[in-house]
């Protein structure tokens, strides 16, 4: 059985209503079975990141895109955690670089603190995934305003309101 067939089987089991789409609560429950515990807001953000048809749920093709991202994040985590089950801030920074995110020190430490649920300086896999979902979502939103691809944007008040309403993590 190839990876796509395995993922389709998993998706179909999560899609308990057989609608062809999975909802945030269904996805949250499926993650919990795999011992990944995310706030519903993070799961909703995962869906929004790949909800290409904007129906508020995740179809199989959209799920495949989310899975690619999550595998990249998990591989970065696994390559750095050395059997401990967590990353320290230096390793988080290295993991973000492996995924393709480069943040300056103030932004990095602020986001690290935000996702360090236990305030221990150690991010577990679900914390690291949540952090990466936030950063990817922020990048996507930023890029929608950075039309000249200069790495800078200027927003008027209405655009700022739009941005803040779309960053609901």
Of the listed ranges 9-13, 34-38, 93-97, the least confidently predicted one is: 34-38
**Which range marks the domain in which residue 18 is found?**
3-166
SS3 58: strand
Question: Burial letters for 63-102: b for 16+ Cβ neighbours within 10 Å, e otherwise?
Answer: bbebbebbeebeebbeebbeeeebbbeebbbebbeebebe
**Cross-strand partners of 123:** 87
Q: Is the pLDDT score of 127 beyond 90?
A: yes
Residue 118: give its domain's CATH number: 1.10.238.10
Global confidence as pTM: 0.87
Higher pLDDT, 90 or 32: 90
Overall domain count for the chain: 1
Query: 1-27 pLDDT, tens per residue?
Result: 578 899 999 999 999 899 999 999 999
Query: 57-68 pLDDT, tens per residue?
Result: 999 999 999 999
**What does the alpha-carbon distance between residue 31 and residue 153 come to, in Å, rounded to a whole number?**
35
Residues 62-66: contacts with CB under 8 Å, at least 24 apart: 63/7, 63/11, 63/22, 64/4, 64/7
């Amino acid at each position: 059985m190839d990876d796509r067939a395995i993922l389709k089987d998993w998706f179909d089991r999560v899609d308990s209503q057989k609608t062809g789409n999975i909802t945030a609560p269904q996805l949250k429950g499926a993650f919990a079975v795999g011992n990944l515990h995310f706030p519903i807001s993070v799961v909703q953000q995962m869906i929004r990141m790949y909800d290409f048809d904007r129906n508020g749920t995740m179809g199989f093709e959209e799920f495949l895109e989310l899975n690619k991202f999550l595998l990249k994040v998990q591989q970065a985590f696994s390559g750095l955690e050395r059997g401990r089950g967590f990353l320290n801030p230096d390793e988080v920074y290295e993991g973000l670089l492996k995924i393709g995110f480069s943040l300056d020190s103030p932004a990095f430490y602020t986001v690290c603190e935000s996702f360090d649920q236990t305030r221990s300086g150690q991010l577990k896999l679900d914390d690291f995934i949540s952090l990466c979902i936030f950063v990817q979502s922020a990048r996507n939103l930023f890029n929608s305003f950075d039309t000249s691809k200069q790495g800078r944007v200027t927003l008027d008040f209405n655009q700022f309101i739009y941005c803040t309403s779309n960053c609901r993590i």
